[in-house]
Structures are given as structure tokens and as C-alpha cells.
């Protein structure tokens, strides 16, 4: 008999492991599908370390696909289903993906992207996946080395870059029941109950905690689009013990507290982790008062600048901190010349992991630019480290915009905007938004004798990149504030919108 990943599968194989309103898998069914998927990947010719793409909204099939990838030793590339076909094609091509799995809702975009990336094999979850898996044997997978995710993050040109983490090693069981489970315990996850997934699984945050929950023995419930009332009702109905949310969710919940507090039994909650972007202090205080000491904060990135953790009590004592690093992580502030700064001094935050530095795949220059001697690396965050080790963030990836937990890279949007015939120069940056954290703002300088309306420029962008990346408003300037070297002093445009705010992000 082939082996199982989870003790629950051996003890209670017919218990529900993964579910949604659309259906469920037992522990035995999840394990069998994962093994069959590992066999299917091998049959498609994918060797250890080879990549494949996944373009799908939240659904129970994510779990056996992730676990099968883990056991097969491959790397899956999760694609944001808000992206255009061209943007998806770039990630598939850049990663060298050999196969694309897509849901019916995104099939048209997926097939167009696959064709552009010269991928012949496309599997549609709704109509083809079950038969495809059933056609492959339920046999023992390789398991060592374990597979992992190939997340994409910003490049200096605005195009995302794939990240390879130094901790993506080991065998499948160690990765899941060791590394991932330890991650969950660090944030107070229990070894019982149900974990609720409400954020899109193409994000690194929900997928990491999905694995952590499973590694600890929790079942998983997949929710669709976030709605405060439904979120709370699901907690009560499913006996949810852990969940991961983003600040946009927290703001919506906090604003609804007057109507929703007391309507649902939330006593099952043990740990609700928030991350992905800074959360307004008032919103977090509302949820802590409402739910009790179950709200943890996580700071990190795809490159491995985390995890840092803030427990509920720590945050109450030090409002605004992003917490203490995990035992294998060091954090320090350096100046622009690479000199380490004293405690309490704001500078460039650098990180050092016991397991080494990350690598931007195919971008050795970017990898080198983000490193200092001694194993230190940065992703451009600005902040300070106090004497007691607690870290405070001033600017988060100073140019990157974080809206609703989604990363938006200004250089990519600027490249589109400056392509408009009337635009001579431009800048894209984030400004405060009480619901989304930040919204996209643009400033433009027109070519002499030309002009365009705000609506025309926004429409120009929407035709070329995903709508969530596009400016919601545009200012016109006579000239952009550039140095003689050509470097854009974006802070001069952005800071006026952040005056009086706790965080300049």
C-alpha cells in the first residue's frame, strides 16, 4: 500500500479533510488524488524541479494538487486570476512551465496564455481533472526532494521575477509535518478544528497557512469571495479554529462590528493571522476587543524576510510593531553605504536566515543588488529595530503598492502609461485608502502641445494590464521631480498624501 502524508488518514480515513460549499474530500480521497497527480506529472514528462502553472479560483482541488506537487518534487507556479493573458503567459514562459491546470472560469485566458508560452498541455479542472487523475495509478510517489511553490515578485523593470527560497529543501513529510507545522505553531495554530481559507490561494500567505494547518492535522474549508457576514457564519458553522485574513477584510469587519458583533458564536477561534499589508490600528483594536486575544500579525515576503510575529499581547504593549523574528532569522537596519545602524535608528532593513539567502531566478544582478556581506539581504523595506528586538516598519517596499493584500509594481504600470502618445513622463505610487490600504495614483507630464483626459489615460492602462493595477486618479505636473542622474524622486509626489499617517506605506 502506498504511504500517506497525514496521521489522520491512517486513523480516520473517511473523515472530511477539505471542503467548500461545492463539495468535499475525505483524508483518504485527498491522499489518493495527490498520489495520482504525482504520477500524472511524471507521465507528462515533468522531472524533479520542473514547473507547471495553476490558474484557478479557490476550490477544494487546490489541496490535492499542492500535495501531489509536494510528493512529485515539482514546482507549481500560482497565477493571479485577475491578470491578463499576456501577464499570465509571461509567468508561464519565464518559469519554463510545462503544463497548465486551469478552472473553467479562467479557461479562455489560460488557453490564450498557454498558447503564447508554447504550452501544449492544458487541463481544465471542471471537465478533465477527475478523469485525468483516475487514468493514473495510485502508487508511491518520490517524496524526496519535496516539491514547492515558485512565487513571483517584482523585478527592477516592473516584470515579476520568480523566487527560489533557501528553505525549499527536504522530503515531503518533513516539509509538511515539520517545517509547515512549525510555522503554524509559531502563530498559535492548534492541532484540531478547521482552518478557513478566504484569500486567493495564488497569494503566498494563504497557501503557506493552508499547508501549515494540514501539517498540524486541521481540516480546511475553502470560502469564495470575502463577505463579513458569511465569514462569521462560516466560523460558527464549521467550528473554525484558525484563519488568515488581510487588512481589507479587517477594515470591513471592524466597520460592521456594530451590526454583526454578538450575532455569531466565535468561541472556537484560537488564532486569526493577518498579513500582506499594514492594518489600520483602529481596525485591529476593534477586532481584538470583539474577538479577544486571538489576532496575530505576520510579516514576511516571498523572498523569506519573515516570519516576524506579533502576538495579541505584544501588539497591545507595542502598537505598530511588526514583531519579533523567528529564531532562525535576524533583522538589522543599515544605511545606504551598508553600515549597520544602532538600535532604534531608521534605515534599510536587512535580513539574515540561518538557511541562507534567496535567489531571483534568472536575475543574478537583482540577486546581487539586494545582498550585503555576511549573509544579509533586503527587499527594500525601511524601518528600525529597537533594543529589545522588536521591529517597526516605516516604509514597506517604498515603491511597491499594496492594495487589498495584492502587490502592485509601479514600474510595470509606468511602462504602460508612458507609452501613451501624450505622456512624456510619469510616476505611479500608492496613496492611502481606508478600505484597501492603498490605492493606485499616477502623476503625468504631457508632451509639449498635447494633453489627455484622466478617463482616457485610465482606459489606456485598463486595456493593457489588469484592472486592479491601474490608477484610480491621475495628477498632471509640468515636470517630474528627477535628479540630474535621471532618478525619480517619487517621495516628493507621494509624501503629501501620507502626512499625519502612522505608516508611510
CA atoms within 13 A on the CB side of 147: 31
C-alpha span between 329 and 58 (Å, rounded)? 31
Distance of alpha carbon 290 from the chain centroid:
27
Q: Which of 104-113, 272-281, 371-380 has the highest mean predicted lDDT (pLDDT)?
A: 104-113
Q: Using alpha carbons, select from 409, 433, 166, 212 the residue that is nearest to residue 309.
A: 212
Is 255 in the same domain as 119? yes
Residue 411 lies in a domain: yes
Instruction: Show Cβ contacts of residue 146 under 8 Å, excluding neighbours closer than 6 positions.
Output: 70, 71, 73, 168, 169, 170, 171, 172, 174, 175, 176
Contact 389, 401 (CB under 8 A): no
pLDDT tens column, 125-153: 999 999 999 999 999 999 999 999 999 87
Q: How confident is the model at residue 251 (pLDDT cuts 50, 70, 90)?
A: confident
Average pLDDT over residues 201-208: 92
Average pLDDT over residues 170-178: 90
Structural domain of 449: 401-498
Residue 70 lies in a domain: yes
Is 375 in the same domain as 347? yes
Q: What is the pLDDT of residue 335?
A: 92
- When divided into structural domains, the chain yields a total of 3
Is 140 in the same domain as 202? yes
pLDDT tens column, 417-470: 988 989 888 899 999 998 899 999 999 999 889 999 999 999 999 999 999 999
Contact 470, 440 (CB under 8 A): yes
In three-state secondary structure terms, 139 is coil
Q: How confident is the model at residue 505 (pLDDT cuts 50, 70, 90)?
A: very low
Residue 156, pLDDT above cutoff 60? no
Taking CA 325 as the corner, what is the angle to CA 177 and CA 294, rounded to the nearest 5 degrees?
70
Is 171 in the same domain as 187? yes
Is 142 in the same domain as 209? yes
pLDDT tens column, 407-419: 787 878 887 898 8
Instruction: Show Cβ contacts of residue 169 under 8 Å, excluding neighbours closer than 6 positions.
Output: 145, 146, 355
More confident residue, 370 or 294: 294
Is 21 in the same domain as 36? yes
More confident residue, 154 or 491: 491
pTM of the model: 0.81
CATH number of the domain to which 476 belongs = 3.30.300.30
Q: How confident is the model at residue 485 (pLDDT cuts 50, 70, 90)?
A: very low
Contact 98, 52 (CB under 8 A): yes
SS (H, E, C) 36-103: HHHHHHHHCCCCCCCEEEEECCCCCCHHHHHHHHHHHCCEEEECCCCCCHHHHHHHHHHHCCCCEEEC
Residue 81, pLDDT above cutoff 50? yes
* H or E segment to which residue 23 belongs: strand 23-26
Q: What is the pLDDT of residue 273?
A: 97
Average pLDDT over residues 186-191: 96
Residue 302 lies in a domain: no
Instruction: Show Cβ contacts of residue 473 under 8 Å, excluding neighbours closer than 6 positions.
Output: 439, 441, 442, 454
Q: What is the pLDDT of residue 292?
A: 97
Residue 448 lies in a domain: yes
CATH number of the domain to which 217 belongs = 3.40.50.12780
CATH number of the domain to which 366 belongs = 2.30.38.10
Q: What is the pLDDT of residue 157?
A: 42
Domain end residue (candidates: 271, 291, 311): 291
Is 215 in the same domain as 242? yes
Least confident of 208-217, 351-360, 434-443, 455-464: 351-360
Residue 297 lies in a domain: no
Q: Using alpha carbons, select from 241, 221, 238 the residue that is nearest to residue 24.
A: 221
Is 459 in the same domain as 335? no
Q: What is the pLDDT of residue 397?
A: 60
Distance of alpha carbon 169 from the chain centroid:
20
Assigned C-alpha cell, 385 = 529595530
Assigned C-alpha cell, 94 = 519565464
Least confident of 61-65, 154-158, 262-266, 445-449: 154-158
Is 335 in the same domain as 241? no
Is 175 in the same domain as 69? yes
Residue 102 lies in a domain: yes
Residue 87 lies in a domain: yes
Residue 298 lies in a domain: no
Residue 287, pLDDT above cutoff 50? yes
C-alpha span between 164 and 151 (Å, rounded)? 8
Average pLDDT over residues 198-216: 94
Residues in the chain: 505
Domain end residue (candidates: 395, 424, 443): 395
Residue 322, pLDDT above cutoff 50? yes
Domain end residue (candidates: 376, 395, 414): 395
* Phi and psi at residue 410, to the nearest 5°: -55, -40
Is 370 in the same domain as 228? no
Is 151 in the same domain as 170? yes
Amino acid at each position: 500500500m502506498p504511504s500517506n502524508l497525514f496521521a489522520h488518514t491512517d486513523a480516520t480515513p473517511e473523515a472530511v479533510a477539505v471542503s467548500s460549499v461545492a463539495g468535499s474530500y475525505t483524508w483518504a480521497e485527498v491522499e489518493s488524488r495527490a498520489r495520482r497527480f504525482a504520477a500524472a506529472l511524471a507521465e507528462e514528462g515533468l522531472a524533479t524541479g520542473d514547473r507547471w502553472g495553476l490558474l484557478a479560483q479557490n476550490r477544494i482541488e487546490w489541496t490535492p494538487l499542492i500535495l501531489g506537487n509536494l510528493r512529485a518534487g515539482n514546482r507549481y507556479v500560482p497565477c493571479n486570476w485577475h491578470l491578463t493573458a499576456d501577464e499570465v503567459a509571461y509567468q508561464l514562459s519565464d518559469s519554463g512551465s510545462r503544463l497548465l491546470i486551469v478552472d473553467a472560469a479562467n479557461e479562455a485566458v489560460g488557453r490564450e496564455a498557454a498558447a503564447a508560452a508554447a504550452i501544449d498541455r492544458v487541463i481544465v479542472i471542471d471537465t478533465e481533472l477527475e478523469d485525468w487523475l483516475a487514468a493514473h495509478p495510485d502508487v508511491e510517489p518520490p517524496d524526496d526532494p519535496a516539491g514547492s511553490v515558485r512565487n513571483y515578485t517584482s523585478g527592477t523593470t516592473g516584470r515579476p521575477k520568480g523566487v527560489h527560497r533557501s528553505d525549499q529543501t527536504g522530503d515531503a513529510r518533513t516539509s509538511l509535518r515539520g517545517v509547515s507545522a512549525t510555522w503554524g505553531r509559531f502563530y498559535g495554530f492548534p492541532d484540531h478544528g478547521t482552518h478557513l481559507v478566504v484569500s486567493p490561494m495564488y497569494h503566498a500567505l494563504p497557501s503557506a497557512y493552508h499547508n501549515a494547518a494540514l501539517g498540524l492535522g486541521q481540516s480546511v474549508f475553502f470560502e469564495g469571495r470575502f463577505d463579513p457576514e458569511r465569514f462569521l457564519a462560516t466560523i460558527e458553522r464549521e467550528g473554525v479554529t484558525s484563519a488568515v485574513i488581510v487588512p481589507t477584510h479587517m477594515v470591513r469587519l471592524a466597520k460592521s462590528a456594530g451590526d454583526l458583533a454578538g450575532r455569531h458564536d466565535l468561541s472556537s477561534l484560537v488564532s486569526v493571522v493577518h498579513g500582506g499589508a499594514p492594518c489600520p490600528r483602529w481596525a485591529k483594536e476593534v477586532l481584538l476587543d470583539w474577538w479577544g486575544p486571538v489576532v496575530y500579525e505576520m510579516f514576511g515576503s516571498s523572498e523569506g524576510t519573515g516570519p516576524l510575529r506579533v502576538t495579541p499581547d505584544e501588539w497591545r504593549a507595542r502598537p505598530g510593531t511588526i514583531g519579533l523574528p523567528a529564531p532562525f532569522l535576524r533583522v538589522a537596519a543599515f544605511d545606504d553605504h551598508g553600515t549597520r545602524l544602532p538600535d532604534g535608528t531608521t534605515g534599510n532593513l536587512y535580513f539574515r536566515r540561518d538557511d541562507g539567502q534567496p535567489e531571483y531566478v534568472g536575475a543574478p544582478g537583482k540577486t546581487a543588488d539586494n545582498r550585503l556581506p555576511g549573509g544579509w539581504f533586503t527587499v527594500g523595506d525601511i524601518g528600525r529595530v529597537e533594543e529589545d528586538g522588536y521591529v517597526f516598519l516605516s516604509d514597506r517596499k517604498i515603491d511597491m503598492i499594496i492594495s487589498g493584500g495584492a502587490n502592485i509594481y509601479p514600474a510595470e504600470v509606468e511602462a504602460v502609461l508612458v507609452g501613451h502618445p501624450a505622456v512624456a513622463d510619469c510616476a505611479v505610487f500608492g496613496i492611502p485608502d481606508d478600505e484597501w490600504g492603498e490605492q493606485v495614483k499616477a502623476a503625468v507630464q504631457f508632451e509639449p502641445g498635447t494633453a489627455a483626459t484622466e478617463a482616457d489615460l485610465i482606459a489606456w492602462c485598463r486595456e493593457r494590464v489588469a484592472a486592479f493595477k491601474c490608477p484610480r486618479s491621475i495628477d498632471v505636473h509640468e515636470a517630474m521631480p528627477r535628479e540630474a542622474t535621471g532618478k525619480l524622486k517619487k517621495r516628493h509626489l507621494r509624501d503629501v498624501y501620507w502626512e499625519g499617517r502612522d505608516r508611510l506605506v
